[in-house]
Chains A and B, each alone.
Chain A
């Protein structure tokens, strides 16, 4: 019986093989790439209601999620073993106490922690002063930008006046950084080697970010002026690339025009022979 079935299936199998071999070059396509395997923390907490499930929802929209920083990267534990995921023996740290928050975040953000601890904010740590999460939030951590300096955040502790002055001094620099970053990204997406420019911007941005925890208005103004001049050099380099692109387009216009004129001449010549 099985032998008969095998015999019956042979022509079909052969036909299928022929079809597949002939269609081989068209096999390029396929389904979506496999999604990144979810760690047990997310699998378990995302289904839980209230404060146990909330962190996952918030984290999904955070800069940490965008950069692949997972729960265990901050809270420790074993993200592959559901039973022992929260075992201290596997390095689980849980949530830090308020005074320990800067050190908790500072394991990765070393320079920022130093800036914070030297600032007026950091000097009041443990005495009612703000910690990292007061401004940056804990799970919905957003990309550090001037938007964090706002009336709602600052008036949790003090008036907004001084913060407003600092924000205004930094606004132009921030705008330049965002615009240059966008231009670099756009050129990178067109195959331009932006490595040097990216490194330059990275270094300037980091210097600028060290000022984020400073509350001395005059110092911030001076530093911003210096940073702006460095940013202008990067903007000039980008301008040269844009100029080169425009020249290419101009040359392209000449080539396209030339080809169309040649086509017209060939066409007219053919008509004379007809």
Chain B
């Protein structure tokens, strides 16, 4: 005990741990009306850590070679001790990550937390959303199944609709005219090295912005719900009389993470195959095109949008425009009100947008 105390003292005089804990944990105050939606970020951080951990474990047995990739995944699923568990954790975790990024974005949208001065928080979050989709897309090819092979063929083909540089981009992505061994090599490098590092860096940036500006106040349960910041000078959004991050809100985070984990485990143990069509377990065959190739659920709306337009470039442009609008939302919506019921036009448009997204997804699934 005395030894531990002396180690602590040794660190204290060098790092100022007591002051750090007080500033960042016990003295870090959050709004009194904070709700569970604010723990979405912690859930996402937990999922990201799980993805990295399971990804590293999968790397022990996975072979990024077109001739061996499918066999190595089959080995992981059938012969490696708890390999099935690790693989399912990673595959289901990717879908969960997209789902919770969407939920996080929706909560930020409806609570008006993207409004100034938090434009950079929103933009970094939007970049993270795109990086998560990119890591899912690149990871999809790695099992080298019929599903992954043909979904990647179709996905990379779409890029060809971009004028002038489309064909160049297709070949650049594939490393050749067709999806093959070079594509697997490229996607593998992107999936295990480039994108995770980028995600980690942008997560750091996202948290840095949060740390500098402070946590936004939810618009619920307050009389005055308009944005207080006037844009005059930098100001940390403090919350005097608020609840401390430690232990109060950390326990809320832990509650949310435990509930998430229960949901995740329920899918993993009882219905893991909702994310795996049959073609996901058949080795890729470039000479046999499956009857219908459907992308993952989070790309179904894009898939259906492309099918709705006879010209692929128009379909792509509309999606690009929608994504650009979403990215620039804090610069377009300059209103000061944050409560969703006090900005009915925004709320109505958002709900219609969400319904269209869901309808396109369902349509894409059944079409």
B320 lies within 8 A of chain A by Cβ: yes
Q: Is A18 an interface residue (CB 8 A)?
A: yes
Asked if A260 is at the interface of the complex by the 8 Å CB criterion, the answer is yes
CB distance A252 to B134 under 8 Å? no
**Pick from A16, A26, A30, A255: contact of B317, CB under 8 Å:** A16
B300 at the interface (CB under 8 A from A): yes
For B268, give its contact among A19, A33, A36, A252 (CB under 8 Å). A252
Return the CB mask of A256-268 against B: 1 if under 8 Å, else 0: 1001101100110
Nearest chain A CB to B96 CB, angstrom units:
14
A31 in contact with B270 (CB, 8 Å) = no
Chain B residue nearest to A244 (CB atoms) is: B84
Q: Is the CB of A269 within 8 A of B251?
A: yes
Inter-subunit contact B265/A191 (CB<8 Å): no
Q: Is there an interface contact between A23 and B269, defined as CB atoms closer than 8 Å?
A: no
Would you list 6 pairs from A and B whose C-beta atoms are within 8 A, ordered by A residue? A20-B316, A24-B130, A24-B159, A29-B158, A252-B268, A252-B269
Given A29-B300, A259-B261, check contact A34 B276 (CB 8 Å): no
Contact A22 B324 (CB under 8 A): yes
Evaluate contact between B258 and A262: CB separation under 8 angstroms. Answer: yes
Interface residues of A in 225-272 (CB under 8 A from B): 248-249, 251-253, 255-256, 259-260, 262-263, 266-267, 269-270
Q: Which one, B154, B292, B319, contacts A26 given CB within 8 A?
A: B319
Closest partner residue, chain A, to B151 (CB atom): A28
State in angstroms the CA–CA spacing of A251 and B262 once bound together.
13
Whether B78 and A192, one on each chain, are in contact in the complex, defined by CB atoms closer than 8 angstroms, is: yes
How far, in Å, is A260 (CB) from chain B's closest CB?
A: 5
A81 contacts chain B at the CB level, 8 A cutoff: no
B interface: dominant SS: helix
Of chain A, the residue at the smallest CB distance from B71 is: A193
- Contact in complex: B151, A32 (CB < 8 Å): no
Seen from chain B, the residues whose Cβ lies within 8 Å of a Cβ on chain A are 74, 77-79, 84, 130-131, 133-134, 137, 150-151, 153-155, 157-159, 162-163, 243, 247-248, 251-252, 254-255, 258-259, 261-262, 265-266, 268-270, 273, 276, 278, 280-281, 289-293, 295-296, 299-307, 312, 316-317, 319-324, 327, 364
Q: Assuming the A-B contacts A26-B133, A33-B154, A189-B278, are A273 and B320 also in contact, with contact meaning beta carbons closer than 8 angstroms in the complex? A: no
Q: How far does the Cβ of A42 sit from chain B's closest Cβ, in whole Å? A: 17
Given A31-B307, A252-B266, A270-B251: A25 and B77 within 8 A (CB)?
A: no
CB-CB < 8 A to A193: which residues of B? 74, 77-79
Contact A191 B255 (CB under 8 A): no
Q: A33 touches which one: B276, B293, B319, B327 (CB < 8 A)? A: B293
Q: How distant is B133 from chain A, measured CB to nearest CB, in Å?
A: 4
Looking at the assembled complex, report how far the CB atom of A187 sits from the nearest CB atom of chain B, in whole angstroms. Answer: 9
Given A22-B324, A25-B133, A27-B158, 15 more contacts at CB 8 Å? A18-B324, A20-B316, A23-B322, A25-B130, A25-B137, A27-B302, A29-B299, A29-B304, A33-B290, A189-B273, A191-B78, A249-B270, A252-B270, A263-B262, A273-B247
Among A189, A251, A269, A274, the one with the most B-chain Cβ atoms within 10 Å of its Cβ is: A189
Most chain B C-beta atoms within 10 Å of own C-beta, residue among A22, A188, A190: A22
Q: Mark A173-195, 1 if CB is under 8 A from B, else 0.
A: 00000000000000011111100
Q: Output the least CB separation between A115 and chain B (Å).
A: 30
Which residues of A sit under 8 angstroms from B320, Cβ to Cβ? 16, 18-23
CA distance A30 to B163 in the complex (A): 17
Residue of B nearest to A187 (CB): B281
Q: Is the CB of A260 within 8 A of B259?
A: yes
Contacts of B162 in A (CB 8 A): 17, 20
Query: What's the Cα separation between A31 and B322 when bound, in Å?
Result: 20
Question: Cβ of B323: which chain A residues have Cβ within 8 Å of it?
Answer: 19, 22-23, 26
Distance in angstroms from A35 CB to nearest chain B CB is: 8
Asked whether A191 lies within 8 Å of B317 as measured between CB atoms, the reply is no
**A69 CB, nearest partner CB in chain B, Å:** 14
Whether the pair B306, A31 counts as a contact (CB closer than 8 A) is yes
A30 touches B265 (CB 8 A): no
Instruction: Indicate if the CB atoms of A253 and B269 lie closer than 8 Å.
Output: yes
Q: Is the CB of B265 within 8 A of A256?
A: yes
Name which residue of chain B comes closest to A68, CB basis: B288
Q: Which residues on the B side are within 8 Å of A252 (C-beta)?
A: 265-266, 268-270
How many angstroms between the C-alpha atoms of A191 and B130 in the bound complex? 29
Hey, which chain A residues are within 8 Å of B266, CB to CB?
252, 256
Known: A20-B162, A33-B154, A249-B270. A25 touches B134 (CB 8 A): yes
* Contact assessment for B251 and A30 in the assembled complex, using a CB-CB cutoff below 8 Å: no
Contacts of B281 in A (CB 8 A): 188-191
Closest chain A residue to B296, Cβ basis: A28
List of A residues within 8 angstroms of B278 by Cβ: 188-189
Asked, given contacts A30-B157, A259-B258, A263-B258, whether A23 binds B316 with beta carbons under 8 Å apart, the answer is yes
Q: How far is the CA of A122 from the CA of B360 in the complex (A)?
A: 58
Interface centre among A31, A248, A262 (most CB of B within 10 A): A31
How many whole Å from B300's CB to the nearest CB in chain A? Answer: 7
Assess whether A255 is in contact with B130, with CB atoms less than 8 Å apart.
no
Q: How distant is the Cα of A122 from the Cα of B265 in the complex, in angstroms?
A: 60
Interchain CA distance A192-B74 in the complex, whole Å:
8
Across the interface, do A26 and B254 meet the contact criterion of CB distance under 8 Å?
A: no
Q: Given A29-B303, A252-B265, A256-B262, check contact A266 B151 (CB 8 Å).
A: no
Residues in A with CB closer than 8 Å to B259 are: 259-260, 263
A189 to B133, CA, bound (A): 25
- Which one of A30, A190, A191, A256 lies within 8 Å of B154 (CB-CB)? A30
Contact A34 B289 (CB under 8 A): yes
Please tell me if the beta carbons of A30 and B155 are within 8 angstroms of each other in the complex: yes
Q: Chain B contacts of A191 at CB under 8 A?
A: 74, 77-78, 84, 276, 280-281
